[in-house]
Amino acid sequence: MTETKPHILVVDDVAFMRNLLGGVLTSLGYPWQGAASSEEAVRLIRAETPRLIILDIMMPEVDGIALCRWIRANEKTRETPVLVCTAQQERRQVEAAIRAGATDILLKPVDKRKLKERLEKHLGPREDPPG
């Protein structure tokens, strides 16, 4: 049986950031899907559980901290790695993300090498690196 490639969900209200992260994920060989809001992310997660979620903290209406709490409370996603990606370098925001259940923190601007390291840490090394 062939294992499917991990599906990564990128949640950010800024289309440029979703596409930038998505481009890096594609270049690293990871399939991904984007969500522009927490509400859209919940719909996508209910339809297909991602292997990893990259989540922005600062979003309108329902912020990333609240979404992270929902992810941790949901039986399907309780163990799903959540990488909080934020430009917020305030200690309070990072601590709130960790209390909400974030697995790891990525500070913007995201460095491709650091993102790759985090993906391998939480998903394991890629067996089929992009050529």
Order of strands across the sheet that contains 52-56: 32-35, 8-11, 52-56, 82-86, 104-107
Into how many domains does the chain fold? 1
**Angstrom distance (rounded) from CA 33 to CA 94:** 24
Note down the domain range covering 23.
Answer: 8-119
CATH number of the CATH domain containing 104: 3.40.50.2300
Report whether 83 contacts 102 (CB < 8 A): yes
* Residue whose tokens read 């984007």: 34
Residue 128, in any domain of the structure: no
Residue 2, in any domain of the structure: no
Could you give the angle at the alpha carbon of 42 between the alpha carbons of 37 and 48, nearest 5°? 125
Q: Give the residue with greater pLDDT, 91 vs 18.
A: 18
Residue 78, in any domain of the structure: yes
Question: pLDDT (tens digit, 9 = 90+) per residue, 56-74?
Answer: 988 888 899 999 999 999 9
Residue 131, in any domain of the structure: no
Question: pLDDT (tens digit, 9 = 90+) per residue, 91-107?
Answer: 788 889 999 999 999 98
Residue 124, in any domain of the structure: no
> Which band of pLDDT confidence, cut at 50, 70 and 90, is reported for residue 128?
low
